[in-house]
Amino acid sequence: MENPSPITATISNEHALQLASSKGDEDLVQMILNKDLSTINAQGGFYGNALVAASYEGHEKVVEILLAAGADMNEQGYFGDSIQAAAATGFGPYEKDIEELFVNWAMNNPHARHNGDALQAASFAGHEKVVQVLLDKGGDINARGGDHGTALQAAIAGGQERVAKILLDRGADVNAQGGLYGNALQAASFEGRRRMVKLLLKRGADVNTQGGIYGNSLVAASCPGHESVLQMLLAKGADVDAHGGYHGNALHVASSEGYDNVVQMLLDKGADPNVQGGEYGNALQAASWQGHEKVVEMLLESGADINAQGGKFGNALQAACYRGHDTVVRILLENGADASAFGHCGNALRAASAGGHRNLVEMLSDHGV
């Protein structure tokens, strides 16, 4: 009896075909197909199917074998269909006759789960030639879908400045909405890509457009603390108090993260420390919850209402008491925080008790609570 293949002996034909295709093993691919042709479009595994595996890894001969055997070009895998997978890597089976293949199959393919359409996949990966071919053959430069929303946003997220310039020169909408970040400027702001932020602003990006998970570009830049990007956005008229949904506004985010320099920058630009919004209700509660002593002092010096109500714990003192931030609690009490004010836990003493902080219970008792 003939010994079985070391691959097919341990895994199913469907997965064996995908593995062999990803490795470029032409003989094994042909052997599996000869044994069971029904596996050719089987779904599953990392790549999704054999044709996507071969396309993504650039194995031209394997792709030809699979296509000749009837593989479906439009079957979706992790990287989209086979055209999208090839576009994502910028090499492989479609290099020698890429124009014909893109004309016949790529223009109207459904969006992939991650890479979007073929243009977005190529833009994110920085494959200029593929991007140019797709655009020359009528690819929709502003098509929306996938995690990145548009090709321009994909290029920005991937750090592909040259591709971004190509797309803008070819008519990409600089303010198009969609995707994780909402628009290209927010993507560049969050990633801290100064040159791209500058490019987008020069091409007319609206610094105050709302959308995406961060709400606006200023909040997006504040989350990772990109000071130079924040300076650029503020210089272009970014609304310093603009809300960003769940995150509140830029000052709330910077206060929560403890970015002293960013907090000071925003306050110097007129940020209102008492604006309500976000998970913590206001900047002081955000800083108190996280235990950022210096930020708490900065906000109080800038006129933050020490007893402002709202947010997760009702007020800053209860937030600090529940988390056990002794120094912050002391700062708040010394500056007149009302320990009896009602909040999530009732009052500050109950908040400290709920958090299991005996030392704070004693501190509050000494203050007559």
CB neighbours of 228 closer than 8 A, spacing ≥ 6?
Answer: 192, 194
Residues 175, 181, 185, 186, Cα dihedral to 10°: 130
Of 35-39, 70-74, 80-84, 162-166, the one with minimum mean pLDDT is 80-84
How far is residue 158 CA from its own chain's centroid? 11
Mean pLDDT lowest among 205-219, 254-268, 341-355: 341-355
Q: What is the mean pLDDT of residues 273-293?
A: 96
Query: What is the predicted pLDDT for the residue at 78?
Result: 66
Query: What is the model's pTM?
Result: 0.76
Among 151-160, 242-251, 276-285, which is the least confidently predicted range?
242-251
- Asked if 311 and 279 touch (Cβ cutoff 8 Å), the reply is yes
77 strand-pairing partners: 80
What pLDDT, on the 0 to 100 scale, is given for residue 116?
62
Is 202 among the domain residues? no
Would residue 143 count as lying in a domain? Answer: no
Q: Are residues 263 and 347 in the same domain?
A: no
Among candidate residues 285, 305, 325, the one where a domain is terminated: 305
**What does the pLDDT read at residue 308?**
96
pLDDT of residue 99: 44
Helix (H/G/I), strand (E/B), else coil: 172: coil
pLDDT over threshold 90, residue 61: no
CA–CA gap between residue 318 and residue 167 (Å, rounded): 51
Name the β-bridge partners of 80: 77
Classify the C-alpha dihedral 15-21-25-27 as positive or negative: positive
pLDDT tens profile 132-162 = 888 887 888 999 887 888 999 999 999 999 9
- What local confidence, expressed as pLDDT, does residue 258 receive? 98
Same domain for 343 and 332: yes
How much of the chain exceeds pLDDT 70, in percent?
Answer: 84
Is residue 163 scored above 80 in pLDDT?
Answer: yes
CATH of the domain at 359: 1.25.40.20
- Its domain, for residue 229, covers 188-196+215-305
Does the pLDDT at position 293 exceed 60? Answer: yes
Whole-number pLDDT of residue 250: 98
Is the residue at 146 inside a domain? no
For the chain, how many structural domains are there in total?
2
Asked if the structure places residue 57 within a domain, the reply is no
- Convert 169-184 to b/e letters by CB count within 10 Å (16 or more is b): eeebebebbbbbbbbb
Model pLDDT for residues 40-52, shown as the tens digit of each residue: 888 887 888 888 8
User: Domain boundary residue among 283, 305, 327?
Assistant: 305
- Reduced to 3 states (helix: H, G, I; strand: E, B; else coil), residue 130 is helix
311 pLDDT above the threshold of 80 = yes
Rounded CA separation 126/279 (Å): 37
Distances (CA, A) of 50 to 93, 122, 308: 14, 21, 60
Kindly state the average pLDDT of the residues 289-309.
Answer: 98
pLDDT of residue 275: 96
Provide the mean pLDDT of the chain.
Answer: 86
The half-sphere exposure of 313 on its side-chain side, counting CA atoms within 13 A, is: 27
Is residue 161, in this structure, part of any structural domain at all? Answer: no
pLDDT of amino acid 119: 84
Can you tell me the mean pLDDT for 94-105?
Answer: 47
